[in-house]
Chains A and B, each alone.
Chain A
Amino acid sequence: MIRSLLLAGLFSAGLSAAALAQSHPPHAQPGELEVDPYTVSDANAGADPIEDADVFVAFGGEAGIARVVDGLLERVREDERIEGIFRASDWPRLRRTLIEQFCYILGGPCTYTGRDMASVHRDHGITTREFNALVENLQDAMDAEGIPFALQNRLLARLAPMHRDVVTR
């Protein structure tokens, strides 16, 4: 009797967890487009975190990183060299996952829940020229936030190797 009650309890707990997972899948947040399921892992961020805690502070913490990402996305939207690639993008998701990714890589208390760099960029046919254009926009966004050059380069050094996963043409 007790056993079957326990079992029933476990069963309903399992059910409601499943129902919850369905209404809020970890892959996409409310307000974002659906995505095909994938395995969530910090490894998807494509770089290990910087261990020097000063870097995260110098970027202004999560709020400062959010401002850098907003500055980057604003610039991308207006950059005729690359804006076309993003016309059908899910901007809320892109903003959220970029903030997570930069925060994680900069040693902040964040986990990255987005997809890995190779699978998310593969079908976009991105060229080296386009990659460099995006990096320029990121540098401008960091300049606008007053982030020292040496610290900008700490982040860029982690992002640069992603070239091989992002650029396919």
Chain B
Amino acid sequence: MMRLLSLLAALLVSGQAAAEDVTVRVTTPAGEPVAHAVVSLPGALPASPADVVHEMAQEDLRFDPFVLVVPQGAEVVFPNRDRVRHHVYSFARDNAFELELYGREQERSVVFDAQGNVPIGCNIHDNMIAYIRVVDTPHAVVTNADGVAVLEGVAAGPVTVWHPYANAENNRLVLDAPADGSTLDVTLDVHGRR
């Protein structure tokens, strides 16, 4: 029943979508929705970064969100909402950083200047893992729990679907954009999940 409803909802959404909106639904070969996949289409970044706050929080000894996508040059704040300290770092070649965040420390941020994937971890809590994907396009959205991402107002171009655990070259697939108004269904094999 719920399935039917969400299917109906998806149909309604795609039916109403303007020509330049693209809806992508990502599922595993078994038909399970794939959340945390980054769906992007090409586009030119504005000269100055948009006034958006990007956040990679730490709460209950987890990163939130698990996957964050930001445009090149974006500033990401790392609020620590736990009462224990975190030592957040990445070894990503062009975006390496390290932040020692004391309990409840909310203000620290990092600017990500280079395109690419930034796996992040915590030196104190080995189980804390998350990914920041830095892209050179303003058109990038992370799939929700239903595996769906809607990109509004995009120009034509190939659709890239990336997931940190995708069994694919460079963890991504590159596909043709769907016909106007239709939903692009993507099958992505992912190992492990969160």
- The answer to whether A and B assemble together is yes
Q: Which residues of A contact B (CB under 8 A)?
A: 84-85, 87-89, 123-125, 169
Is the beta-carbon distance between A125 and B123 smaller than 8 angstroms?
yes
Collect the chain A residues with CB atoms within 8 Å of residue B123's CB.
Answer: 125
Closest beta carbon of chain A to B81's beta carbon, Å:
10
Query: Can you report 30 A-B residue pairs in the complex whose CB atoms are below 8 A from each other?
Result: A84-B85, A84-B100, A84-B102, A85-B85, A85-B102, A87-B85, A87-B102, A87-B103, A87-B104, A87-B105, A88-B83, A88-B84, A88-B102, A88-B103, A88-B104, A89-B83, A89-B103, A123-B61, A123-B84, A123-B125, A124-B84, A124-B85, A124-B124, A125-B84, A125-B85, A125-B87, A125-B123, A125-B124, A125-B125, A169-B124
Collect the chain A residues with CB atoms within 8 Å of residue B84's CB.
Answer: 88, 123-125
Closest to B87 in A: A125
- The number of residue pairs between A and B whose CB atoms lie closer than 8 Å in the complex comes to 34
Looking at chain A's contact residues, is the secondary structure mostly helix, strand, loop, or mixed?
loop
Chain B positions 72 through 97: 1 when the CB is less than 8 Å from some CB of chain A, otherwise 0: 00000000001111010000000000
| 9 A-B pairs with least C-beta separation | A88-B103, A125-B124, A88-B83, A88-B104, A87-B102, A84-B102, A123-B84, A87-B103, A124-B84
A112 to B87, CA, bound (A): 32
B contacts with A, residue count (CB < 8 A)? 14
Q: Which residues of B contact A (CB under 8 A)?
A: 61, 82-85, 87, 100, 102-105, 123-125
A169 to B105, CA, bound (A): 22
Closest to B105 in A: A87
A87 to B102, CA, bound (A): 7
A85 to B84, CA, bound (A): 7
A133 to B187, CA, bound (A): 55
